[in-house]
Structure 1
Protein backbone atom coordinates (compact mmCIF):
# COMPACT_ATOMS: atom_id res chain seq x y z
CA UNK A 1 0.00 0.00 0.00
CA UNK A 2 1.18 3.54 -0.79
CA UNK A 3 1.32 6.12 1.99
CA UNK A 4 -0.45 9.51 1.52
CA UNK A 5 2.73 11.29 0.31
CA UNK A 6 3.43 8.57 -2.24
CA UNK A 7 -0.20 8.70 -3.35
CA UNK A 8 0.03 12.46 -3.85
CA UNK A 9 3.29 12.10 -5.80
CA UNK A 10 1.78 9.37 -7.98
CA UNK A 11 -1.32 11.50 -8.60
CA UNK A 12 0.88 14.44 -9.55
CA UNK A 13 2.83 12.36 -12.08
CA UNK A 14 -0.42 10.96 -13.45
CA UNK A 15 -1.86 14.45 -13.91
CA UNK A 16 1.31 15.62 -15.64
CA UNK A 17 1.23 12.61 -17.97
CA UNK A 18 -2.43 13.19 -18.82
CA UNK A 19 -1.73 16.88 -19.46
CA UNK A 20 1.21 16.00 -21.71
CA UNK A 21 -0.90 13.58 -23.73
CA UNK A 22 -3.82 16.00 -24.01
CA UNK A 23 -1.86 19.19 -24.74
CA UNK A 24 0.87 17.73 -26.94
CA UNK A 25 0.40 14.20 -28.24
CA UNK A 26 -3.33 14.62 -28.85
CA UNK A 27 -3.32 18.31 -29.78
CA UNK A 28 -5.29 18.46 -33.06
CA UNK A 29 -2.51 19.85 -35.32
CA UNK A 30 -0.03 17.26 -34.02
CA UNK A 31 -2.21 14.14 -33.85
CA UNK A 32 -1.37 12.86 -37.36
CA UNK A 33 2.38 13.19 -36.85
CA UNK A 34 2.62 11.88 -33.30
CA UNK A 35 0.39 8.92 -34.17
CA UNK A 36 2.50 8.03 -37.22
CA UNK A 37 5.67 8.16 -35.13
CA UNK A 38 3.91 6.12 -32.46
CA UNK A 39 2.88 3.53 -35.05
CA UNK A 40 6.44 3.23 -36.37
CA UNK A 41 7.89 3.00 -32.86
CA UNK A 42 5.34 0.34 -31.87
CA UNK A 43 6.22 -1.74 -34.94
CA UNK A 44 9.90 -1.63 -33.99
CA UNK A 45 9.12 -2.56 -30.38
CA UNK A 46 6.91 -5.50 -31.41
CA UNK A 47 9.56 -6.75 -33.84
CA UNK A 48 12.28 -6.71 -31.18
CA UNK A 49 10.06 -8.27 -28.48
CA UNK A 50 8.93 -10.99 -30.86
CA UNK A 51 12.53 -11.82 -31.70
CA UNK A 52 13.46 -11.97 -28.01
CA UNK A 53 10.44 -13.99 -26.83
CA UNK A 54 10.52 -16.39 -29.79
CA UNK A 55 14.20 -17.14 -29.24
CA UNK A 56 13.50 -18.11 -25.62
CA UNK A 57 10.15 -19.88 -25.81
CA UNK A 58 9.80 -21.33 -29.33
CA UNK A 59 12.19 -24.11 -30.29
CA UNK A 60 11.12 -24.05 -33.93
CA UNK A 61 12.16 -20.38 -34.22
CA UNK A 62 15.87 -21.15 -33.93
CA UNK A 63 15.66 -23.79 -36.65
CA UNK A 64 14.20 -21.34 -39.17
CA UNK A 65 16.30 -19.65 -41.83
CA UNK A 66 17.19 -15.98 -41.43
CA UNK A 67 14.53 -14.99 -43.98
CA UNK A 68 11.90 -17.07 -42.18
CA UNK A 69 12.78 -15.49 -38.82
CA UNK A 70 12.38 -12.04 -40.35
CA UNK A 71 8.97 -13.03 -41.70
CA UNK A 72 8.04 -14.54 -38.31
CA UNK A 73 8.78 -11.19 -36.63
CA UNK A 74 7.12 -9.22 -39.41
CA UNK A 75 3.91 -11.22 -39.08
CA UNK A 76 3.84 -10.45 -35.36
CA UNK A 77 3.80 -6.75 -36.26
CA UNK A 78 0.92 -7.19 -38.70
CA UNK A 79 -1.00 -9.27 -36.13
CA UNK A 80 -0.72 -6.60 -33.43
CA UNK A 81 -1.71 -3.89 -35.93
CA UNK A 82 -4.66 -5.97 -37.14
CA UNK A 83 -6.00 -6.49 -33.61
CA UNK A 84 -5.65 -2.78 -32.82
CA UNK A 85 -7.16 -1.40 -36.03
CA UNK A 86 -9.98 -3.97 -36.10
CA UNK A 87 -11.04 -3.01 -32.58
CA UNK A 88 -10.73 0.68 -33.46
CA UNK A 89 -12.67 0.28 -36.71
CA UNK A 90 -15.52 -1.69 -35.15
CA UNK A 91 -15.85 0.91 -32.40
CA UNK A 92 -15.68 3.94 -34.71
CA UNK A 93 -18.08 2.55 -37.34
CA UNK A 94 -20.62 0.64 -35.29
CA UNK A 95 -20.41 1.79 -31.65
CA UNK A 96 -19.48 5.47 -31.51
CA UNK A 97 -21.89 8.32 -32.26
CA UNK A 98 -19.45 9.94 -34.70
CA UNK A 99 -21.33 8.66 -37.76
CA UNK A 100 -24.84 8.83 -36.39
CA UNK A 101 -27.44 9.60 -39.08
CA UNK A 102 -29.04 12.14 -36.73
CA UNK A 103 -26.25 14.69 -37.21
CA UNK A 104 -26.58 17.44 -39.81
CA UNK A 105 -23.06 17.33 -41.26
CA UNK A 106 -22.12 14.97 -44.10
CA UNK A 107 -20.88 11.53 -43.08
CA UNK A 108 -17.96 11.93 -45.47
CA UNK A 109 -16.38 14.88 -43.64
CA UNK A 110 -16.75 13.79 -40.02
CA UNK A 111 -13.66 13.02 -37.97
CA UNK A 112 -12.45 13.16 -34.40
CA UNK A 113 -9.16 13.20 -32.55
CA UNK A 114 -9.56 9.49 -31.82
CA UNK A 115 -10.40 8.53 -35.41
CA UNK A 116 -7.48 10.55 -36.77
CA UNK A 117 -5.13 9.08 -34.18
CA UNK A 118 -6.15 5.51 -35.10
CA UNK A 119 -5.53 6.16 -38.79
CA UNK A 120 -2.12 7.65 -37.97
CA UNK A 121 -1.10 4.46 -36.15
CA UNK A 122 -2.17 2.51 -39.24
CA UNK A 123 -0.16 4.81 -41.53
CA UNK A 124 2.92 4.18 -39.39
CA UNK A 125 2.36 0.43 -39.72
CA UNK A 126 1.93 0.55 -43.51
CA UNK A 127 5.11 2.64 -43.85
CA UNK A 128 7.11 0.08 -41.86
CA UNK A 129 5.58 -2.97 -43.54
CA UNK A 130 5.91 -1.53 -47.05
CA UNK A 131 9.53 -0.62 -46.32
CA UNK A 132 10.24 -4.18 -45.17
CA UNK A 133 8.51 -5.64 -48.25
CA UNK A 134 10.70 -3.51 -50.53
CA UNK A 135 13.87 -4.24 -48.53
CA UNK A 136 13.40 -8.01 -48.54
CA UNK A 137 11.48 -8.27 -51.83
CA UNK A 138 10.04 -10.72 -52.72
CA UNK A 139 10.52 -12.72 -49.49
CA UNK A 140 7.72 -10.93 -47.58
CA UNK A 141 5.31 -10.67 -50.51
CA UNK A 142 5.13 -10.12 -54.24
CA UNK A 143 3.71 -7.34 -56.39
CA UNK A 144 0.16 -7.90 -55.12
CA UNK A 145 1.27 -7.01 -51.58
CA UNK A 146 3.04 -3.91 -52.87
CA UNK A 147 -0.11 -2.77 -54.70
CA UNK A 148 -2.29 -3.53 -51.67
CA UNK A 149 -0.04 -1.64 -49.25
CA UNK A 150 0.51 1.40 -51.51
CA UNK A 151 -3.24 1.79 -52.10
CA UNK A 152 -3.94 1.33 -48.39
CA UNK A 153 -1.22 3.76 -47.35
CA UNK A 154 -2.39 6.50 -49.73
CA UNK A 155 -6.06 6.08 -48.81
CA UNK A 156 -5.48 5.97 -45.04
CA UNK A 157 -3.01 8.89 -45.12
CA UNK A 158 -5.42 11.04 -47.13
CA UNK A 159 -8.33 10.30 -44.79
CA UNK A 160 -6.12 11.05 -41.80
CA UNK A 161 -4.77 14.38 -43.11
CA UNK A 162 -7.93 15.69 -44.81
CA UNK A 163 -10.60 14.26 -42.51
CA UNK A 164 -12.55 13.16 -45.58
CA UNK A 165 -13.90 9.66 -46.03
CA UNK A 166 -12.79 8.36 -42.65
CA UNK A 167 -16.00 6.34 -42.30
CA UNK A 168 -15.32 4.35 -45.46
CA UNK A 169 -11.64 4.04 -44.63
CA UNK A 170 -12.53 2.41 -41.31
CA UNK A 171 -15.05 0.15 -43.03
CA UNK A 172 -12.29 -1.15 -45.29
CA UNK A 173 -9.89 -1.49 -42.35
CA UNK A 174 -12.33 -3.84 -40.60
CA UNK A 175 -11.07 -6.39 -43.15
CA UNK A 176 -7.83 -6.55 -41.15
CA UNK A 177 -9.71 -8.90 -38.81
CA UNK A 178 -8.64 -11.74 -41.12
CA UNK A 179 -4.91 -11.02 -40.71
CA UNK A 180 -4.30 -12.82 -37.37
CA UNK A 181 -5.78 -16.01 -38.80
CA UNK A 182 -3.65 -15.79 -41.95
CA UNK A 183 -0.54 -15.22 -39.84
CA UNK A 184 -1.40 -18.07 -37.48
CA UNK A 185 -1.68 -20.36 -40.50
CA UNK A 186 1.86 -19.40 -41.53
CA UNK A 187 3.14 -19.95 -37.97
CA UNK A 188 1.57 -23.41 -37.81
CA UNK A 189 3.15 -24.30 -41.14
CA UNK A 190 6.56 -22.98 -40.03
CA UNK A 191 6.28 -25.02 -36.81
CA UNK A 192 5.63 -28.22 -38.80
CA UNK A 193 1.95 -28.45 -37.81
CA UNK A 194 0.44 -28.42 -41.26
CA UNK A 195 -1.29 -31.76 -40.68
CA UNK A 196 -2.61 -30.83 -37.24
CA UNK A 197 -6.25 -30.32 -36.28
CA UNK A 198 -5.43 -26.72 -35.36
CA UNK A 199 -4.32 -26.07 -38.96
CA UNK A 200 -7.63 -27.42 -40.30
CA UNK A 201 -9.73 -25.40 -37.84
CA UNK A 202 -7.69 -22.31 -38.68
CA UNK A 203 -8.45 -22.80 -42.38
CA UNK A 204 -12.19 -23.02 -41.73
CA UNK A 205 -12.10 -19.89 -39.53
CA UNK A 206 -10.18 -17.99 -42.21
CA UNK A 207 -12.81 -18.97 -44.80
CA UNK A 208 -15.74 -17.60 -42.80
CA UNK A 209 -13.83 -14.54 -41.52
CA UNK A 210 -12.76 -13.67 -45.06
CA UNK A 211 -16.29 -14.15 -46.37
CA UNK A 212 -17.73 -11.77 -43.77
CA UNK A 213 -14.96 -9.15 -43.47
CA UNK A 214 -13.62 -8.98 -47.02
CA UNK A 215 -16.60 -9.94 -49.17
CA UNK A 216 -19.92 -9.20 -47.42
CA UNK A 217 -18.66 -6.12 -45.59
CA UNK A 218 -17.34 -4.66 -48.86
CA UNK A 219 -20.77 -5.23 -50.44
CA UNK A 220 -22.32 -3.40 -47.48
CA UNK A 221 -19.82 -0.55 -47.90
CA UNK A 222 -20.60 -0.18 -51.63
CA UNK A 223 -24.31 -0.13 -50.77
CA UNK A 224 -23.67 2.53 -48.12
CA UNK A 225 -21.75 4.64 -50.66
CA UNK A 226 -24.68 4.27 -53.08
CA UNK A 227 -27.18 5.46 -50.44
CA UNK A 228 -25.02 8.48 -49.57
CA UNK A 229 -23.65 9.21 -53.04
CA UNK A 230 -24.93 12.78 -52.87
CA UNK A 231 -22.49 13.35 -49.98
CA UNK A 232 -19.66 11.50 -51.73
CA UNK A 233 -20.04 13.83 -54.74
CA UNK A 234 -19.33 16.83 -52.49
CA UNK A 235 -15.92 15.43 -51.51
CA UNK A 236 -12.68 16.62 -53.09
CA UNK A 237 -11.73 14.81 -56.31
CA UNK A 238 -8.94 12.92 -54.56
CA UNK A 239 -11.33 11.82 -51.84
CA UNK A 240 -13.89 10.63 -54.38
CA UNK A 241 -11.26 8.56 -56.18
CA UNK A 242 -10.09 6.94 -52.95
CA UNK A 243 -13.65 6.13 -51.87
CA UNK A 244 -14.79 4.84 -55.27
CA UNK A 245 -11.67 3.31 -56.85
CA UNK A 246 -9.45 1.95 -54.06
CA UNK A 247 -12.16 -0.24 -52.43
CA UNK A 248 -13.04 -1.68 -55.86
CA UNK A 249 -9.42 -2.65 -56.53
CA UNK A 250 -9.08 -4.12 -53.03
CA UNK A 251 -12.36 -6.01 -53.46
CA UNK A 252 -11.09 -7.59 -56.68
CA UNK A 253 -7.88 -8.62 -54.91
CA UNK A 254 -9.93 -10.01 -52.01
CA UNK A 255 -11.97 -12.13 -54.42
CA UNK A 256 -8.80 -13.45 -56.06
CA UNK A 257 -7.31 -14.35 -52.65
CA UNK A 258 -10.63 -15.85 -51.56
CA UNK A 259 -10.56 -18.25 -54.49
CA UNK A 260 -7.11 -19.41 -53.34
CA UNK A 261 -8.42 -19.86 -49.79
CA UNK A 262 -11.28 -22.03 -51.08
CA UNK A 263 -8.88 -24.15 -53.15
CA UNK A 264 -6.50 -24.54 -50.20
CA UNK A 265 -9.29 -25.49 -47.79
CA UNK A 266 -10.76 -27.96 -50.28
CA UNK A 267 -7.33 -29.53 -50.77
CA UNK A 268 -6.81 -29.86 -47.00
CA UNK A 269 -10.25 -31.43 -46.48
CA UNK A 270 -9.68 -33.84 -49.38
CA UNK A 271 -6.43 -35.09 -47.85
CA UNK A 272 -8.20 -35.86 -44.58
CA UNK A 273 -10.90 -38.02 -46.12
Structure 2
Protein backbone atom coordinates (compact mmCIF):
# COMPACT_ATOMS: atom_id res chain seq x y z
CA UNK A 1 0.00 0.00 0.00
CA UNK A 2 2.85 2.37 0.83
CA UNK A 3 4.51 1.68 -2.55
CA UNK A 4 1.19 2.32 -4.32
CA UNK A 5 0.86 5.63 -2.46
CA UNK A 6 4.33 6.75 -3.59
CA UNK A 7 3.49 5.71 -7.14
CA UNK A 8 0.29 7.77 -7.11
CA UNK A 9 2.16 10.78 -5.75
CA UNK A 10 4.82 10.45 -8.46
CA UNK A 11 2.18 10.22 -11.20
CA UNK A 12 0.41 13.26 -9.76
CA UNK A 13 3.69 15.21 -9.70
CA UNK A 14 4.40 14.39 -13.34
CA UNK A 15 0.86 15.16 -14.49
CA UNK A 16 0.23 18.32 -12.49
CA UNK A 17 3.68 19.90 -12.65
CA UNK A 18 6.17 18.41 -15.12
CA UNK A 19 3.58 17.91 -17.88
CA UNK A 20 1.29 20.84 -17.10
CA UNK A 21 0.72 22.87 -20.28
CA UNK A 22 2.24 26.01 -18.80
CA UNK A 23 5.56 24.41 -17.84
CA UNK A 24 6.06 21.79 -20.56
CA UNK A 25 8.32 24.07 -22.63
CA UNK A 26 10.66 24.62 -19.69
CA UNK A 27 10.70 21.11 -18.20
CA UNK A 28 11.23 19.59 -21.65
CA UNK A 29 14.26 21.80 -22.33
CA UNK A 30 15.74 20.80 -18.96
CA UNK A 31 15.07 17.14 -19.78
CA UNK A 32 16.85 17.57 -23.12
CA UNK A 33 19.91 19.13 -21.49
CA UNK A 34 20.04 16.46 -18.77
CA UNK A 35 19.68 13.71 -21.39
CA UNK A 36 22.67 15.15 -23.27
CA UNK A 37 24.76 15.09 -20.12
CA UNK A 38 23.76 11.49 -19.36
CA UNK A 39 24.59 10.28 -22.88
CA UNK A 40 27.91 12.14 -22.80
CA UNK A 41 28.99 10.54 -19.52
CA UNK A 42 27.70 7.08 -20.47
CA UNK A 43 29.53 7.23 -23.82
CA UNK A 44 32.83 7.94 -22.07
CA UNK A 45 32.39 5.00 -19.69
CA UNK A 46 31.15 2.60 -22.39
CA UNK A 47 33.77 3.55 -24.98
CA UNK A 48 36.63 3.27 -22.50
CA UNK A 49 35.68 -0.35 -21.85
CA UNK A 50 34.53 -1.63 -25.26
CA UNK A 51 36.58 0.35 -27.83
CA UNK A 52 40.31 -0.38 -27.83
CA UNK A 53 41.15 2.72 -29.88
CA UNK A 54 39.31 5.11 -27.53
CA UNK A 55 41.98 5.43 -24.78
CA UNK A 56 44.55 6.28 -27.45
CA UNK A 57 42.63 9.31 -28.68
CA UNK A 58 43.55 12.83 -27.67
CA UNK A 59 41.41 14.68 -25.13
CA UNK A 60 39.74 16.73 -27.86
CA UNK A 61 39.07 13.63 -29.95
CA UNK A 62 37.45 11.91 -26.98
CA UNK A 63 35.30 15.03 -26.49
CA UNK A 64 34.20 14.93 -30.13
CA UNK A 65 33.60 11.16 -29.86
CA UNK A 66 31.12 11.73 -27.00
CA UNK A 67 29.66 14.84 -28.64
CA UNK A 68 28.83 12.87 -31.78
CA UNK A 69 27.22 10.20 -29.64
CA UNK A 70 24.86 12.83 -28.22
CA UNK A 71 23.95 14.12 -31.69
CA UNK A 72 23.33 10.56 -32.89
CA UNK A 73 20.90 9.81 -30.05
CA UNK A 74 19.13 13.14 -30.59
CA UNK A 75 18.92 12.55 -34.34
CA UNK A 76 17.31 9.13 -33.92
CA UNK A 77 14.83 10.48 -31.36
CA UNK A 78 13.80 13.62 -33.22
CA UNK A 79 13.69 11.96 -36.66
CA UNK A 80 11.31 9.25 -35.40
CA UNK A 81 9.09 11.76 -33.60
CA UNK A 82 9.07 14.19 -36.53
CA UNK A 83 8.17 11.48 -39.03
CA UNK A 84 5.37 10.39 -36.70
CA UNK A 85 3.91 13.88 -36.33
CA UNK A 86 4.19 14.85 -40.01
CA UNK A 87 3.20 11.63 -41.78
CA UNK A 88 1.48 9.26 -39.35
CA UNK A 89 -0.23 11.40 -36.73
CA UNK A 90 -3.55 13.09 -37.42
CA UNK A 91 -2.35 16.25 -35.68
CA UNK A 92 -1.32 17.98 -38.91
CA UNK A 93 -3.58 16.09 -41.31
CA UNK A 94 -5.54 18.13 -43.88
CA UNK A 95 -8.43 15.75 -43.32
CA UNK A 96 -8.81 16.83 -39.72
CA UNK A 97 -11.15 19.78 -39.12
CA UNK A 98 -9.33 21.31 -36.17
CA UNK A 99 -8.62 24.77 -37.49
CA UNK A 100 -5.58 25.98 -39.46
CA UNK A 101 -2.76 23.45 -39.64
CA UNK A 102 -0.29 26.13 -38.56
CA UNK A 103 -2.02 26.51 -35.17
CA UNK A 104 -2.13 22.85 -34.19
CA UNK A 105 -0.03 21.51 -31.34
CA UNK A 106 -0.23 19.04 -28.48
CA UNK A 107 1.49 18.43 -25.16
CA UNK A 108 3.60 15.70 -26.78
CA UNK A 109 4.62 17.81 -29.79
CA UNK A 110 5.61 20.72 -27.54
CA UNK A 111 7.54 18.41 -25.20
CA UNK A 112 9.37 16.87 -28.17
CA UNK A 113 10.42 20.29 -29.45
CA UNK A 114 11.61 21.24 -25.96
CA UNK A 115 13.84 18.18 -25.73
CA UNK A 116 15.28 18.98 -29.15
CA UNK A 117 15.86 22.61 -28.13
CA UNK A 118 17.71 21.37 -25.03
CA UNK A 119 20.00 19.37 -27.30
CA UNK A 120 20.73 22.26 -29.67
CA UNK A 121 21.48 24.59 -26.76
CA UNK A 122 23.84 22.03 -25.22
CA UNK A 123 25.57 21.31 -28.52
CA UNK A 124 25.87 25.01 -29.35
CA UNK A 125 27.49 25.62 -25.96
CA UNK A 126 30.02 22.84 -26.65
CA UNK A 127 30.76 24.16 -30.16
CA UNK A 128 31.45 27.65 -28.79
CA UNK A 129 33.47 26.34 -25.82
CA UNK A 130 35.73 24.18 -28.01
CA UNK A 131 35.59 26.46 -31.07
CA UNK A 132 36.60 25.73 -33.76
CA UNK A 133 37.40 22.07 -33.01
CA UNK A 134 33.78 20.81 -33.07
CA UNK A 135 32.75 23.00 -36.00
CA UNK A 136 33.23 26.36 -37.63
CA UNK A 137 30.91 29.31 -38.14
CA UNK A 138 28.59 27.29 -40.40
CA UNK A 139 27.78 25.05 -37.43
CA UNK A 140 27.22 28.03 -35.16
CA UNK A 141 24.85 29.54 -37.76
CA UNK A 142 23.06 26.21 -38.22
CA UNK A 143 22.48 25.83 -34.48
CA UNK A 144 21.40 29.44 -33.96
CA UNK A 145 18.82 29.05 -36.73
CA UNK A 146 17.72 25.74 -35.19
CA UNK A 147 17.33 27.30 -31.73
CA UNK A 148 15.25 30.18 -33.11
CA UNK A 149 13.26 27.88 -35.39
CA UNK A 150 12.37 25.54 -32.51
CA UNK A 151 11.90 27.98 -29.62
CA UNK A 152 9.18 30.12 -31.23
CA UNK A 153 6.81 27.29 -32.26
CA UNK A 154 7.48 25.52 -28.96
CA UNK A 155 6.48 28.58 -26.91
CA UNK A 156 3.60 29.78 -29.13
CA UNK A 157 2.30 26.48 -30.54
CA UNK A 158 2.28 28.08 -34.01
CA UNK A 159 3.96 26.64 -37.10
CA UNK A 160 5.09 23.44 -35.41
CA UNK A 161 4.36 21.35 -38.50
CA UNK A 162 7.12 23.09 -40.46
CA UNK A 163 9.58 22.76 -37.60
CA UNK A 164 9.05 19.00 -37.57
CA UNK A 165 9.46 18.85 -41.36
CA UNK A 166 12.84 20.53 -41.04
CA UNK A 167 13.85 18.32 -38.11
CA UNK A 168 13.30 15.18 -40.21
CA UNK A 169 16.57 16.17 -41.89
CA UNK A 170 18.37 15.19 -38.66
CA UNK A 171 17.96 11.59 -39.86
CA UNK A 172 21.16 12.09 -41.86
CA UNK A 173 23.22 12.80 -38.74
CA UNK A 174 23.91 9.17 -37.65
CA UNK A 175 25.48 8.44 -41.06
CA UNK A 176 27.70 11.52 -40.81
CA UNK A 177 28.82 10.56 -37.32
CA UNK A 178 29.44 6.94 -38.33
CA UNK A 179 31.69 8.19 -41.11
CA UNK A 180 33.75 10.14 -38.56
CA UNK A 181 33.97 7.07 -36.28
CA UNK A 182 35.15 4.88 -39.18
CA UNK A 183 37.73 7.48 -40.18
CA UNK A 184 38.99 7.85 -36.60
CA UNK A 185 39.22 4.06 -36.26
CA UNK A 186 41.42 3.86 -39.37
CA UNK A 187 38.77 2.18 -41.54
CA UNK A 188 38.76 4.71 -44.38
CA UNK A 189 39.53 2.01 -46.96
CA UNK A 190 36.99 -0.50 -45.65
CA UNK A 191 33.81 -1.62 -47.42
CA UNK A 192 31.80 -0.18 -44.52
CA UNK A 193 33.22 3.28 -45.29
CA UNK A 194 32.15 3.00 -48.94
CA UNK A 195 28.65 1.77 -48.05
CA UNK A 196 28.35 4.58 -45.54
CA UNK A 197 29.19 7.12 -48.28
CA UNK A 198 26.51 5.74 -50.60
CA UNK A 199 23.89 5.67 -47.83
CA UNK A 200 24.80 9.24 -46.85
CA UNK A 201 24.33 10.38 -50.45
CA UNK A 202 20.87 8.81 -50.72
CA UNK A 203 19.76 9.90 -47.24
CA UNK A 204 20.91 13.49 -47.81
CA UNK A 205 19.17 13.62 -51.19
CA UNK A 206 15.88 12.45 -49.69
CA UNK A 207 15.92 14.14 -46.25
CA UNK A 208 17.67 17.42 -47.03
CA UNK A 209 16.95 18.11 -50.70
CA UNK A 210 13.68 16.47 -51.78
CA UNK A 211 12.04 16.92 -48.37
CA UNK A 212 12.81 20.65 -48.38
CA UNK A 213 11.24 20.91 -51.84
CA UNK A 214 8.12 19.26 -50.39
CA UNK A 215 8.25 21.68 -47.43
CA UNK A 216 8.27 24.74 -49.71
CA UNK A 217 5.43 23.24 -51.75
CA UNK A 218 3.46 22.62 -48.54
CA UNK A 219 4.01 26.25 -47.44
CA UNK A 220 2.77 27.39 -50.87
CA UNK A 221 -0.41 25.29 -50.56
CA UNK A 222 -1.14 26.55 -47.03
CA UNK A 223 0.14 30.10 -47.42
CA UNK A 224 -3.22 31.57 -46.34
CA UNK A 225 -2.75 29.76 -43.02
CA UNK A 226 0.93 30.68 -42.74
CA UNK A 227 -0.04 34.37 -42.96
CA UNK A 228 -2.09 33.96 -39.77
CA UNK A 229 0.98 32.99 -37.72
CA UNK A 230 2.65 35.65 -35.53
CA UNK A 231 5.11 37.95 -37.30
CA UNK A 232 8.23 36.26 -35.90
CA UNK A 233 6.80 32.86 -36.85
CA UNK A 234 6.20 34.00 -40.43
CA UNK A 235 9.75 35.32 -40.63
CA UNK A 236 11.21 32.06 -39.31
CA UNK A 237 9.07 29.91 -41.64
CA UNK A 238 10.30 32.00 -44.56
CA UNK A 239 13.98 32.34 -43.67
CA UNK A 240 15.09 29.28 -41.67
CA UNK A 241 14.19 26.58 -44.26
CA UNK A 242 15.58 28.77 -47.06
CA UNK A 243 18.97 29.32 -45.39
CA UNK A 244 19.21 25.68 -44.30
CA UNK A 245 18.37 24.49 -47.82
CA UNK A 246 21.25 26.57 -49.22
CA UNK A 247 23.60 25.10 -46.60
CA UNK A 248 22.28 21.61 -47.39
CA UNK A 249 23.07 22.09 -51.09
CA UNK A 250 26.60 23.23 -50.26
CA UNK A 251 27.19 20.23 -47.97
CA UNK A 252 25.59 17.93 -50.57
CA UNK A 253 28.20 19.08 -53.07
CA UNK A 254 30.94 18.10 -50.60
CA UNK A 255 29.30 14.69 -50.07
CA UNK A 256 29.25 14.06 -53.83
CA UNK A 257 32.93 15.04 -54.16
CA UNK A 258 33.86 12.84 -51.19
CA UNK A 259 31.95 9.85 -52.58
CA UNK A 260 33.50 10.25 -56.03
CA UNK A 261 36.95 10.49 -54.45
CA UNK A 262 36.35 7.31 -52.43
CA UNK A 263 35.08 5.42 -55.51
CA UNK A 264 38.07 6.59 -57.56
CA UNK A 265 40.53 5.33 -54.95
CA UNK A 266 38.89 1.88 -54.88
CA UNK A 267 39.29 1.58 -58.65
TM norm structure 1 = 0.95
Matches within 5 A, 1:238-249: 238-249=232-243
Aligned to 1:5: none
Once residues 195 and 9 of structure 1 are traced to their aligned partners in structure 2, the CA distance between those partners, rounded to angstroms, is 60
Once residues 220 and 23 of structure 1 are traced to their aligned partners in structure 2, the CA distance between those partners, rounded to angstroms, is 39
Aligned to 1:98: 91
CA deviation vs aligned residue, 1:90-137 (integer Å, no higher than 9, x gap): 111111111121214111111100000000001100110000000000
Query: Quick check: 1:18 aligned with 2:2?
Result: no
Give 1:24 shift.
1.4
Give 1:10 shift.
5.2
Aligned to 1:115: 109
Once residues 104 and 111 of structure 1 are traced to their aligned partners in structure 2, the CA distance between those partners, rounded to angstroms, is 10
Alignment RMSD: 1.1
Once residues 21 and 228 of structure 2 are traced to their aligned partners in structure 1, the CA distance between those partners, rounded to angstroms, is 24
Task: Indicate which of 118, 137, 142 corresponds to 1:148.
Answer: 142
**Unaligned ranges ≥5, structure 2:** none
Matches within 5 A, 1:1-273: 11-101=4-94, 102-273=96-267
The residue matched to 1:28 in structure 2 has which SS?
coil
Once residues 21 and 86 of structure 1 are traced to their aligned partners in structure 2, the CA distance between those partners, rounded to angstroms, is 25
Once residues 136 and 47 of structure 1 are traced to their aligned partners in structure 2, the CA distance between those partners, rounded to angstroms, is 15
Once residues 200 and 159 of structure 1 are traced to their aligned partners in structure 2, the CA distance between those partners, rounded to angstroms, is 39
Give 1:23 shift.
1.4
Distance 1:11 1:91, change over 3 A: farther
Once residues 195 and 11 of structure 1 are traced to their aligned partners in structure 2, the CA distance between those partners, rounded to angstroms, is 57
Give 1:16 shift.
3.3
| 57-66 or 8-17, larger mean C-alpha shift | 8-17
CA deviation vs aligned residue, 1:124-156 (integer Å, no higher than 9, x gap): 001100000000000000000000000000110
Give 1:235 shift.
1.2
Give 1:213 shift.
0.4
Once residues 10 and 75 of structure 1 are traced to their aligned partners in structure 2, the CA distance between those partners, rounded to angstroms, is 40
Give 1:20 shift.
2.2
Give 1:11 shift.
4.7
TM norm structure 2 = 0.97
Q: After TM superposition, what 4+ stretches of structure 1 lie above 2 angstroms from structure 2?
A: 8-20
**Unaligned ranges ≥5, structure 1:** 1-7
Once residues 169 and 199 of structure 2 are traced to their aligned partners in structure 1, the CA distance between those partners, rounded to angstroms, is 14
